[in-house]
Amino acid sequence: MLSIPQIAQTWQISPYLYESLNQIVSAINTLSSQSGVDAAPAAQSSAGQSLPAPSAPASLDVSASAGTFRVTLGASPGATSAALYFLEAAADSGFAATDTTVYPLGGTLAVNLSLGNVTLYFRARAKYPSSGYGSYVIFGGSTPTAVTGGLVGSVNLPTNVPLNSTNNATVDSVDAGSSATIRIYGPGGVGSSWTRYSGQGTETYPAGTITGLAYSTVYYVVWSGSAYLAFTEQSQAVNDNYVFVGRPTTVAPGGSGGSSGGGGSGSGNGGRFLD
């Protein structure tokens, strides 16, 4: 904080000067407090004064599931918007220095940390840019409470994220006279639905066809959500909204050759991308 030791003597020179200087000092110290920057650091102030640290954050709440910790702080009472907050997490309830990770939050009072299925203890404190640290608030109080992240299951992942999967679809082709037609169907034969199996369970899809395709060509067949599509390049088939069905090779003119794809065909690829 700014302090002028000789300010009292200015009264004898001019009461107006004394009043003006007091107003200037007050304004600078107010701005200093709001910005969190000491106008006269301890080494320069008259009585070793320094900007007081914020008090401990008003609260600390921690919850977790699927490997993600959700942390919310209550602002330090009386602190200005310049206060900086620091979250600490440790596997040791004593917060040993070698076992503690510090997360600088800046002015943010809420954060999500994806740390996996680990068990941690949490505490937090605050400071201004030109002050020391304030005292800690500890999750659980005087007896720290451990929080476990929890396992990440398949249901926590976005739809169609790469997972082990297969299906019972048959994806084959027939000669349509001047082009090839790809057919997609299930164990019940042409026209029947098929099932996709993954870590998220089972999904059922309708039978379908794709017409006007080239002969003797490898295609990547996907379900777009409303229709079947066939691509000659694998990179075209990896849109997050697509469900991969199979990779057949269409027949030659006259219906000879070709190969099936999908998990329901003996020579298929199980509904997985394979080169």
* All domains of the chain in start order, with CATH: 1-45 (no CATH), 59-152 (2.60.40.10), 153-275 (no CATH)
Reference 57, options 118, 128, 109; nearest CA is 109
Kindly report the number of other CB atoms within 10 A of residue 67's CB atom: 18
Reference 274, options 252, 250, 244; nearest CA is 244
Mean pLDDT of the chain: 86
Q: What is the pLDDT of residue 47?
A: 40
Euclidean distance between CA atoms 1 and 28, whole angstroms: 9
Burial 36-66 (b: 16+ CB within 10 A, else e): bebbbeeeebeeeeebebbbbbeebebebee
Pair type for strands 170-175 and 180-185: antiparallel
Q: What angle do CA 36, 42, 43 make, to 5 degrees?
A: 135
Q: What amino acid is encoded at 125 in this protein?
A: R
Q: Kindly tell me if the per-residue pLDDT of 86 is higher than 90.
A: yes
The three-class DSSP label of residue 122 is: strand
Instruction: Indicate whether this model's pTM tops 0.85.
Output: no
Reference 63, options 148, 189, 168, 178; nearest CA is 148
Q: Which of 133-137, 150-154, 190-194 is the least confident region?
A: 150-154
Kindly report the number of other CB atoms within 10 A of residue 262's CB atom: 28
Reference 107, options 71, 82, 90, 88; nearest CA is 82
Q: Kindly tell me if the per-residue pLDDT of 48 is higher than 50.
A: no
Percent of the chain with pLDDT over 90: 60
